[in-house]
Structure 1
């Protein structure tokens, strides 16, 4: 009878050791998974930030280029209008006077 009890005790001890080993492996795998997930998240965040910075820089460059182009265009238009005024201001004044006096 003692031998049966001893065998059962050995089996129970072996089963407990197996369960404990499985728990230890599970904990190790969980730690490894968490570490890999954190590394993946950090890498993804870094890549995302770099991509966002590149998009921002490109957008700022395009915006600056458009604004410079519009500024140059506006400056040219103002210059053209001033030149036309310088050349034709007397004619404009006569036309305005003529329209006022016709009424």
Structure 2
């Protein structure tokens, strides 16, 4: 929707699905697609350089950033509910609902 309204968009995602390739073919240089692990931003192994480099790439390509949308989510823990700890539930809830770490 943003692209079709004429906005320039930078996307940071763990993978590069065919849909991204299609959007790049349609919108060309209005879309900057970067591969990186967003989940890492909310984990104990967080690497802020992933976000920093994506934002720098957006500024370098488009000249500025007008808005940021963080849409983080996690699928972990992948185990029986009876085996999930309260800390794991809180971490998942904080990432999926608030897009932040529970640390």
TM-score, length-normalised on structure 2? 0.19
Could you say which structure has the higher helix fraction? Answer: 1
